[in-house]
Structure 1
Amino acid sequence: MSTGSRVLQRVVLPVDPDQDILPLYVEGELGQPPVVAEDVTTPVSAPAEHQDVAQVLSRRSFGVEPRSRASFGTYFNAFPAAYWRKWTVVEQVTLATKVSGTGQVLVYRSNARGNIYRVQGEAFEGAAGQTFTFTLPLSSFADGGWYWFDVVAGAEGATLDEAHWEAESDRPQGTVTVGVTTLNRADDVVVLLKQLASDPALLEILDRVTVVDQGTQHPEDADGFAASEAGLGGRLRMIRQANLGGSGGFSRGMSETLDEGVSTYHLISDDDVRTEPEGILRAVTFADLARRPTIVGGHMFSMFDRSYLHSFGERINPWRFWWGPVLDKYEGHHLDQGSLRGTAALHRRIDVDYNGWWMELIPTDVIREVGLSLPVFIKWDDAEYGLRAREHGVPTVSLPGVAAWHVPWTDKDDSLDWQAYYHERNRFVAALLHSPFEHGGRLVRESMYHQLKHLLASQYSVAELRLQALEDLLSGPEHLHAQIDTRLARIRETRARYDDARVERTPGAFPPVKRKKVSKRGDGYALPGGRLGNYLGAALGMVKAVRPPSDLSREHPEVEIAAQDARWFLLARFDSAVVSLADGSGASWYRRQPAEFRRQLTRSLELHKRVLEEWPELSRRYKAAIDDLVGQEAWKATFARTEADDR
């Protein structure tokens, strides 16, 4: 194939008029960062003047007011040069802009430290669709940096008619199947399907959209489904199956794509997201031009605070074997308050261990080699897949400009509900497969610490689920497929036995607060300070945990505690407490049970001791079983078995 020009990234504007997300696409003049003390850990960033959504003339056209500046050095329109230099065969990029009116097109670049340099520019006067091109090398972006451009309007104003970034390439154009897993989110699925059908350029490379429906409220019954289906032009396939969790739904989508044998890539998508269709085009193009087979992931913005970049890059701490942001002090960022151009931390290239499965593009050849998801129902399936792929020489790149809006996990605490079982078991399974340490590093010890905290907090349902998770872990890898469709029912049965899992949604559902003794300093609600205070709280909590609770505390809660204050060392002070949920939708009445505390503490010590002692053999067993766990035939057997059981 002869060398030709390949569009890498189009400059786009919001699909629907939305002032809240306009700063992700276009901004005005860059302001000055605030002056802060040197010991403040929050990164300093500079804001930019906001533009008005009325200036959006079309999906690709923007009107610039007279004597003002519009900068496209934004999340969705700046070019992430460092990522293209590191991971792809592209050595230089061409910016092509079409403008009208009077003004200037000014091209800028940055480095990994966030320093900004003007590199090229062109003036235009009385233009009507005049095109300017700028050829820009990628040679100086080893550690970070972006390219972008501004349009500065003269006295008559100016218009950006359209712009894009392109490069020479002889690589073939890949195609994609989008796999969506849903559980009773019919309206969300309809909106997502509409978004996927909204971009003609995306439809050109979209082979199929496979929706795996695991619920009882079906998208076909939702308003607007017929129109969304028609917009996809016969590309939509609906599949119903038993609820096998995210890992079961995503694996079904992967398996169907492999069987069809048409698409170059399979894109995993949550059902409850809003997507930027241009991001899917960019992910496919990036993967097409990657130096080697590469998984391309998208970032996550908050569904509610829509300019808040919630996840910019994820990693696994190998010693703790726990996930977290690559930038320790920078888990999220408000791009409407601190612009990309003015936030130095966002200019360094971020290399990741994995990408969340709210949006991830995987080459089908990689799926054939690496396998489908672990059969773990929910939690850690995406993180484990990234680690497994890396062991096969396949990197994951979280690519700026590729993103979805999703409900952030900061608005809930799923480690305290039914998902506690999966958090515990699946973290251990992933560590048995991938930890570089003989006994899992700090994982077993840290698990015991957390277990003790839950017990001191009277979170007995959580502690019990975590114990069941370790028991199943010790039974061996065979239980993963065998229990994937039945474990959730047993989890719900377990939770039904405990007070801390019973949620009341109605205010006033609990008896009024009463307590015999009140501290001279108030109600004892103040949180202890420092590590010494925590240790003292643990010691006092252990003493209190085995003593009989007061009779009054069985009939009345001693205190009401807000979710953000419900720390173990505070809860350990009380015989009973009403604790609100993290999402504010209800509350539970925690009541101390000394006999349950002693029973679970004894089991906790025994099980953690067993896991530590048996770690080398457990690790060998799980690693030996990996092909059977993630193989397509094993998953097909599970699909067939659960389908038969569901009838």
Structure 2
Amino acid sequence: MNERAETAAQLASADTPLVLQRVLFAGPTPDTDADLYATIAGGGDRTRTSVHARHGATIDTDTYFGRVPAPYFERWTTVTSVDLTFDFETTGRAHAVVRGCDSDGQVHVVARLELEGAGAVTSTVPLDRYSDGGSLWVGFIADDGDLTISDAVWSTTAPHRIRAAAVAICTFNRPADCVATLTALASDQLTRERLTAVYVVDQGTDAVCDEPGFDQTSAALGERLTYIRQPNLGGAGGFTRGISEAVAHEEDLDLILMDDDIRCEPETPLRLAAFASVTPDPTIVGAQMLYLMNPTRLHVGAEYADLHTLRAGRWAKNALHDADMLTRRQDRPADAGYNGWWTCLLPAEVITALGLPLPMFFQWDDIEYGIRAAGTAGVQTVTLPGAAVWHMDFSRKDNDDWTMYFSIRNSLITAALHSDLDVKSLSTRMFREISQHIVAMQYGLAYTMIRGIEDFLTGPDILADGGRTALVDIRRERAAFGETVMHRESDVPGVNYRELPVHPAGFEPAKDRFDVVLAKRAATQLAGRVVRGCVAIPPTDAHWWHVSLFDQAVVADASGNGVRLRTRDTGLARTLGARNLKVRWAFRADAANVRKAFQAALPTLTSPANWQRLFTTE
């Protein structure tokens, strides 16, 4: 262990408490819905760490951020009990009630604590009945006087050695968002003191260091902050640079990766680091994602990737999906296959055992790493309820952009490395999906997918420059397809968008008839037997089997940033159809050998030497 690691790791005495999570009564910013933290009935005032309840009022932390995910501690850590500690002051009688629930949501009282005058209270709760599910939380009742609660925490006895924790943020041309995240970390005293280092890897041309507020935040973080500029190597390259820098300075480390465009809850790094400190084996601990545009809704409780269908973001058994966390509990534990790197903790031992991420540039790098951790080293990923950040809703992102190239290419690389790669099934599935895009007049998207498959088939050499050439090429090539261009509603070429008839979709064809309908749509399009003129189609109705009925359609983008004009082009459809068929047969012929090539190249691709070459190549 190097000198910095010796000073960063902390030795704890036998009775030192480890705070697992604070009982917070409000969010980090005034616009955060406080009911995600605590509810107040009967009148009261709150700050982040204290609450004042008036006579007769009730405070309840049976909330998203208020509950202790007891089954996760019982199942994946060495914790056998937790201590609730808080300060109180009351002008009359009051009491606190510790409650729990089981996997079916049935609530029971764990302890009742009478409060009178002022003082501090500690209540110990055994974790011996939550392996199947449930939660713990506390409520406070001001019976016949005012009641103030402050500095409430859930804790346990600290392990002998508390590991260092650091944060690495990858950013590209989001300086305001990045500074906001840094400010959130710096403004919370406990978080700031817990972190030994914060690495910012800036790959953009709009430098974070020039953003207003950066100097103040940098001063607050002091020597903890390391700011790095490098060429754009995508999220994979940015995070890998942060990983490389962190483990070079601290070998006994838990590193928390963070996106630049999140709204940060500074409590979350504390909860991730605390949980990781009490796991018996090195464990990847991930935060959940709440939607930025719908901030009380949970993206998914835990997720996995289906490599047989190349689909990520499948919600795990027992996991909630798109759920309103003001009304739902996560009572049953869910097993994650990976965790997105919007915020995710990687222990240094895992990095040492696995090597670095693949130089995929963007998309699936976090997924591949989580799958590799489980398959190669037996490392569990735990997505921890009550630890979350806010991130842009995925439903607000349209898939018709250059990122689809990396998604299809990198999902194939991941499947080649970590599955049996059912070549026949995958070739049929991809051929069908590309054909659907062609009949939907998404010619650029079809082309993008074909290019991703073609480049996968070239083998590991496609990753030689970390994806920089592929990014430039696919963005340039997509520009040749008119429907890839986003327009303002008032500026659609040759069309008055506001006067177009709106055509919602009819009934969806039966799944077992999709291929028949697809063939018919292709034939009628090539023959010109479509509805003439231009129509408007909402994004929720832009299914391939509906859009393909028309000669021209203006489709609103799912992001809400504009519209796209899709125009039938039979010549382009024939060209792409032929290329789609060609790549299908090439995939069937070559994919097995390409799979072996990627497996053989994995140690070299993920080596520090390869990444150092990429970091220093302009």
Alignment of 1:531-610 (within 5 A): 531=510, 534=514, 537-548=517-528, 557-610=533-586
The 8 Å contact of residues 375 and 484 in structure 1, kept in 2 or not, is answered as: yes
The 8 Å contact of residues 439 and 615 in structure 1, kept in 2 or not, is answered as: no
Q: Distance in 2 between matches of 1:438 and 1:299?
A: 29
Q: Distance in 1 between matches of 2:159 and 2:319?
A: 41
Taking a change above 3 Å as real, the CA distance of residues 330 and 78 of structure 1, as seen in their structure-2 partners, is: closer
Q: Distance in 2 between matches of 1:542 and 1:202?
A: 57
Query: Percent identity, aligned pairs only?
Result: 32
Q: Match for residue 170 of structure 2?
A: 181
Taking a change above 3 Å as real, the CA distance of residues 15 and 542 of structure 1, as seen in their structure-2 partners, is: closer
Q: Match for residue 239 of structure 1?
A: 228
Taking a change above 3 Å as real, the CA distance of residues 508 and 202 of structure 1, as seen in their structure-2 partners, is: closer
CA deviation vs aligned residue, 1:461-489 (integer Å, no higher than 9, x gap): 11111111111111111211335111111
Q: Which amino acid aligns with 2:157?
A: E
Q: Match for residue 32 of structure 1?
A: none
Q: Secondary structure at the match of 1:402?
A: strand
The 8 Å contact of residues 94 and 165 in structure 1, kept in 2 or not, is answered as: yes
Q: Match for residue 391 of structure 2?
A: 406
Q: Which amino acid aligns with 1:3?
A: A
Q: Match for residue 332 of structure 1?
A: 322
- Following superposition, the deviation at residue 144 of structure 1 comes to 1.2
For residue 465 of structure 1, the aligned residue among 406, 430, 448 is 448
Q: Match for residue 94 of structure 1?
A: 83
- Following superposition, the deviation at residue 578 of structure 1 comes to 1.3
Q: Distance in 1 between matches of 2:466 and 2:391?
A: 29
Q: Which amino acid aligns with 1:482?
A: D
In structure 1, runs of 5+ residues without a counterpart are 29-48, 341-345
CA deviation vs aligned residue, 1:51-89 (integer Å, no higher than 9, x gap): 87x711x43111123212111122212111100111111
Q: Which amino acid aligns with 2:577?
A: L
- Following superposition, the deviation at residue 636 of structure 1 comes to 0.7
- Following superposition, the deviation at residue 370 of structure 1 comes to 0.9
CA deviation vs aligned residue, 1:184-211 (integer Å, no higher than 9, x gap): 1111111111111112222223122111
Alignment of 1:236-315 (within 5 A): 236-261=225-250, 264-315=253-304
Q: Match for residue 66 of structure 1?
A: 55
CA deviation vs aligned residue, 1:128-159 (integer Å, no higher than 9, x gap): 1x222222111211121111111011121212
Taking a change above 3 Å as real, the CA distance of residues 291 and 121 of structure 1, as seen in their structure-2 partners, is: same
Q: Distance in 2 between matches of 1:328 and 1:74?
A: 18
Matched, 1:124 2:115: yes
Taking a change above 3 Å as real, the CA distance of residues 158 and 296 of structure 1, as seen in their structure-2 partners, is: same
TM-score, length of structure 2 as denominator length: 0.92
Q: Which amino acid aligns with 1:124?
A: L
In structure 2, runs of 5+ residues without a counterpart are 1-11
- Following superposition, the deviation at residue 440 of structure 1 comes to 5.4
Q: Which amino acid aligns with 1:567?
A: H
Q: 608-617 or 394-403: which moved more?
A: 608-617
Alignment of 1:84-483 (within 5 A): 84-101=73-90, 102-125=93-116, 127-128=117-118, 130-261=119-250, 264-323=253-312, 324-326=314-316, 330-336=320-326, 338-340=327-329, 346-391=330-375, 392-413=377-398, 415-435=399-419, 437-439=420-422, 442-482=425-465
Q: Distance in 2 between matches of 1:119 and 1:108?
A: 5
Matched, 1:527 2:506: yes
TM-score, length of structure 1 as denominator length: 0.88
CA deviation vs aligned residue, 1:433-461 (integer Å, no higher than 9, x gap): 111x3525843322222111101101111
Q: Distance in 2 between matches of 1:461 and 1:529?
A: 24
CA deviation vs aligned residue, 1:270-299 (integer Å, no higher than 9, x gap): 001121212111111111110100011001
CA deviation vs aligned residue, 1:11-61 (integer Å, no higher than 9, x gap): 123354536421111024xxxxxxxxxxxxxxxxxxxx6x87x711x4311
Q: Secondary structure at the match of 1:452?
A: helix
Q: Distance in 2 between matches of 1:451 and 1:329?
A: 31
Q: Distance in 2 between matches of 1:375 and 1:507?
A: 41
The 8 Å contact of residues 168 and 255 in structure 2, kept in 1 or not, is answered as: yes
Q: 461-470 or 259-268: which moved more?
A: 259-268
Q: Distance in 1 between matches of 2:212 and 2:23?
A: 32
Taking a change above 3 Å as real, the CA distance of residues 91 and 255 of structure 1, as seen in their structure-2 partners, is: same
Q: Which amino acid aligns with 1:638?
A: L
The 8 Å contact of residues 319 and 333 in structure 2, kept in 1 or not, is answered as: no
- Following superposition, the deviation at residue 328 of structure 1 comes to 8.2
Q: Distance in 2 between matches of 1:9 and 1:137?
A: 16
- Size of the aligned set, in residue pairs, is 599
Q: Which amino acid aligns with 2:24?
A: V
Q: Secondary structure at the match of 1:478?
A: helix
- Following superposition, the deviation at residue 2 of structure 1 comes to 4.8
The 8 Å contact of residues 423 and 587 in structure 2, kept in 1 or not, is answered as: no
Q: 104-113 or 13-22: which moved more?
A: 13-22
Q: Secondary structure at the match of 1:486?
A: helix
Q: Distance in 2 between matches of 1:215 and 1:156?
A: 56
Taking a change above 3 Å as real, the CA distance of residues 446 and 107 of structure 1, as seen in their structure-2 partners, is: same
Q: Distance in 2 between matches of 1:565 and 1:438?
A: 33
Q: Which amino acid aligns with 1:423?
A: S
Taking a change above 3 Å as real, the CA distance of residues 501 and 529 of structure 1, as seen in their structure-2 partners, is: closer
Q: Distance in 1 between matches of 2:147 and 2:503?
A: 63
Q: Which amino acid aligns with 2:201?
A: V
Q: Secondary structure at the match of 1:233?
A: helix
Alignment of 1:595-634 (within 5 A): 595-634=571-610
- Following superposition, the deviation at residue 253 of structure 1 comes to 0.7
- Following superposition, the deviation at residue 396 of structure 1 comes to 0.7
Q: Which amino acid aligns with 1:541?
A: R
Q: Which amino acid aligns with 1:400?
A: P
Q: 130-139 or 487-496: which moved more?
A: 130-139
Q: Match for residue 8 of structure 1?
A: 20
Q: Distance in 2 between matches of 1:512 and 1:259?
A: 58
The 8 Å contact of residues 104 and 121 in structure 1, kept in 2 or not, is answered as: yes
Q: Which amino acid aligns with 1:223?
A: P
Q: Match for residue 6 of structure 2?
A: none
CA deviation vs aligned residue, 1:274-326 (integer Å, no higher than 9, x gap): 21212111111111110100011001111222222223211122432412222
Q: Which amino acid aligns with 1:185?
A: R
Q: Secondary structure at the match of 2:187?
A: coil
Q: Match for residue 34 of structure 1?
A: none
Taking a change above 3 Å as real, the CA distance of residues 484 and 300 of structure 1, as seen in their structure-2 partners, is: same
- Following superposition, the deviation at residue 117 of structure 1 comes to 0.9
- Following superposition, the deviation at residue 534 of structure 1 comes to 4.8
CA RMSD in angstroms, aligned pairs only: 2.3
Q: Which amino acid aligns with 2:105?
A: G
Q: Distance in 2 between matches of 1:266 and 1:447?
A: 37
- Following superposition, the deviation at residue 257 of structure 1 comes to 1.0
Q: Distance in 1 between matches of 2:26 and 2:589?
A: 55
Q: Which amino acid aligns with 1:352?
A: A
Q: Distance in 2 between matches of 1:329 and 1:564?
A: 25
The 8 Å contact of residues 13 and 25 in structure 1, kept in 2 or not, is answered as: yes
Q: Distance in 2 between matches of 1:304 and 1:446?
A: 33
The 8 Å contact of residues 171 and 289 in structure 1, kept in 2 or not, is answered as: no
Q: Distance in 2 between matches of 1:523 and 1:197?
A: 50
Q: Distance in 1 between matches of 2:319 and 2:157?
A: 38
- Following superposition, the deviation at residue 427 of structure 1 comes to 0.9
Q: Match for residue 24 of structure 1?
A: 36
- Following superposition, the deviation at residue 6 of structure 1 comes to 2.2
Q: Secondary structure at the match of 2:361?
A: coil
Q: Which amino acid aligns with 1:362?
A: L
Q: Match for residue 45 of structure 1?
A: none
Q: Secondary structure at the match of 1:299?
A: strand
Taking a change above 3 Å as real, the CA distance of residues 523 and 481 of structure 1, as seen in their structure-2 partners, is: same
